[in-house]
Amino acid sequence: MSEHIQATQERMDKSLTALRKELAAVRAGRANPALLDKIIVDYYGTPTPVTQMASVTAPEPRMLIIQPWDKGTLASIERAIQKSDLGLTPNTDGSVIRLNVPQLTTERRQELTKYIKKIAEESRVAVRNVRRDVNEEVKKAEKQSLLSEDESRRLQEKIQEVTDHAVAEIDRLLAVKEKELLEV
């Protein structure tokens, strides 16, 4: 019985972890090394994330410094950043890349707010799908007389509690990121 609850919790936690990563990668006007998590560079024929090829630091609130471990990859990293949807222009001095993160415009803030609401809704849907799948397993076990009707009902109530908790966490994460985006 508790293995259903634990499995449900683990699957919902994976959705929350994915949402946290997505939200961290959304630019909120502040320099954050997580902005570069999705930037993939062709490293001698192998697609590699920038964060695995260089140290990324934020020495100032509006600047990122990327210091590649292999100087030969500087141009590749620069090209990958230019091709990305970040809208940032890299400045290179031969050994490091500097990225100035400009202040967000009101329009861009609104676009990003819509985007984060969309990914939060996708997370809610994923959590509800987990609930549906586990509830179907519980009902199947009840039909096969592996669980009594009361046990089945209790288990479904517990699953709903876990779901409510996960949805509340999604809403909290969304509210925090929204507030961060809308701060001027």
Compute the half-sphere exposure of residue 45: CA atoms within 13 Å on the CB side of its CA.
0
Task: Return the structure tokens found at 69.
Answer: 């471990």
Question: Is this model's pTM higher than 0.75 or not?
Answer: no
CB 47 within 8 A of CB 63: no
Task: Go through the chain and tell me how many residues it has.
Answer: 184
* Both structure tokens of 121: 């809704």
Q: How many CB atoms lie within 10 A of CB 90?
A: 19
List the chain pLDDT tens, one digit each, 184 residues.
577 788 888 999 998 998 888 887 776 666 777 777 778 888 788 888 888 888 888 888 778 888 888 888 888 888 888 887 777 788 888 888 888 877 777 887 888 888 889 999 999 999 999 999 999 988 898 888 888 888 889 999 999 999 999 999 999 999 988 888 777 5
How many alpha carbons fall within 13 Å on the CB side of residue 28? 20
Q: How far is CA 30 from the centre of its chain?
A: 17
Q: How far is CA 154 from CA 46, 70, 137, 141, in A?
A: 50, 58, 14, 13
Q: Which domains does the chain have, with CATH numbers?
A: 2-24+105-182 (1.10.132.20), 33-100 (3.30.1360.40)
Q: Secondary structure of 92-149 in the HEC alphabet?
A: ECCCCEEEECCCCCHHHHHHHHHHHHHHHHHHHHHHHHHHHHHHHHHHHHHHCCCCCH
Q: What is the pLDDT of residue 169?
A: 94
Residue position matching structure tokens 């997505």: 22
Which of 83, 72, 94 lies closest to 40, judged by CA?
A: 83
Provide the pLDDT for residue 29: 63
89: enclosing H helix or E strand: none
Q: 39 by DSSP, 3-state: which? A: coil
Residue 36 is given by DSSP the state G
Q: What is the pLDDT of residue 1?
A: 55
